Each structure stands twice: as structure tokens, then as C-alpha cells.
């Protein structure tokens, strides 16, 4: 029986929204190989680029933040992003663990 360790992140998302911030929710939806965070791990990002929670061990967070900011800027509802070792941007941001993850980002509106 797995515990959902990140449970508080959705409460925090609601707090941010109440404070009139735009919030994008990022969720790990798939993993391959060794990845630090399990499926269902979450992170929230606001329009200023502040973030809370995590989708990896610090490897791809910065890339996810900029994807979330673009989502807000372009006013799109959602997007799926894959970080693979073969992916150039993953090398840039450094998926040092050698794993692969897919992250789904969505605006809360």
C-alpha cells in the first residue's frame, strides 16, 4: 500500500489560486528506467515562475517551469512533455539519473 507523499501540493495549489495567482499543475504520468519520483508526483508553478513540489530529483524542474510559463503565456489548457536521455533538452537540463519521464502540465482554471 503506497502512500501518497505529496498530498499537500493540491491544497497549496488552491491557496495560490485564492491569492489570485495563475497555477499550472505538473504531474509525472509515466516513467521508464530509474527515475527519482514515482508516477503521480506533482509540482505547481505560478505565472511568476515560483514552484513547489517536484517531478524529479531536481533534474528537469527548470525545464518544466519554463514549459508551464509558456502554457500560461500562450493560454493553452494542457501539454505532455517527455524527458528522455536521447532528448537534447534533457541533456541540457541534465537528467543525470539516466531515466526517462513523461510529465503532463495543465492549467487550473
Minimum CB distance to another protein, residue 22 (Å): 11
Residues between 50 and 109 with contacts to another protein, criterion CB under 8 A: 77-78, 80, 104, 106-109
Among 9, 22, 25, 35, binds another protein (CB under 8 A): 25
Secondary structure in 3-state letters for the chain:
CCCCCCCHHHHHHHHHHHCCCCEEEEEEEEEECCCCCCCCCEEEEECCCCEEECCCCCCCHHHHHHHHHHHHHCCCCEEEEEECCCCHHHHHHCCCCCCEEEEEEEEEC
Q: Which of 1, 19, 48, 75 binds another protein (CB under 8 A)?
A: 1
* CB 4, min distance to another protein, A: 6
Among 9, 27, 55, 100, binds another protein (CB under 8 A): 27
Q: Are strands 78-83 and 23-32 parallel, antiparallel or unpaired?
A: unpaired
The contact set with another protein (CB under 8 A) reads 1-5, 7-8, 10-11, 13-14, 17, 25, 27, 29-30, 38-40, 77-78, 80, 104, 106-109
Amino acid at each position: 500500500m503506497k502512500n501518497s507523499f505529496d498530498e499537500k501540493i493540491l491544497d497549496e495549489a488552491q491557496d495560490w489560486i485564492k491569492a489570485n495567482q495563475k497555477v499550472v499543475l505538473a504531474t509525472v504520468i509515466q516513467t521508464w528506467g530509474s527515475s527519482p519520483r514515482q508516477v503521480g508526483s506533482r509540482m505547481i508553478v505560478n505565472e511568476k515562475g515560483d514552484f513547489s513540489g517536484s517531478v524529479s530529483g531536481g533534474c528537469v524542474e527548470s525545464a518544466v517551469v519554463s514549459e508551464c510559463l509558456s502554457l500560461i503565456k500562450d493560454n493553452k489548457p494542457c501539454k505532455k512533455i517527455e524527458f528522455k536521455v536521447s532528448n537534447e533538452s534533457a541533456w541540457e537540463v541534465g537528467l543525470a539519473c539516466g531515466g526517462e519521464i513523461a510529465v503532463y502540465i495543465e492549467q487550473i482554471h
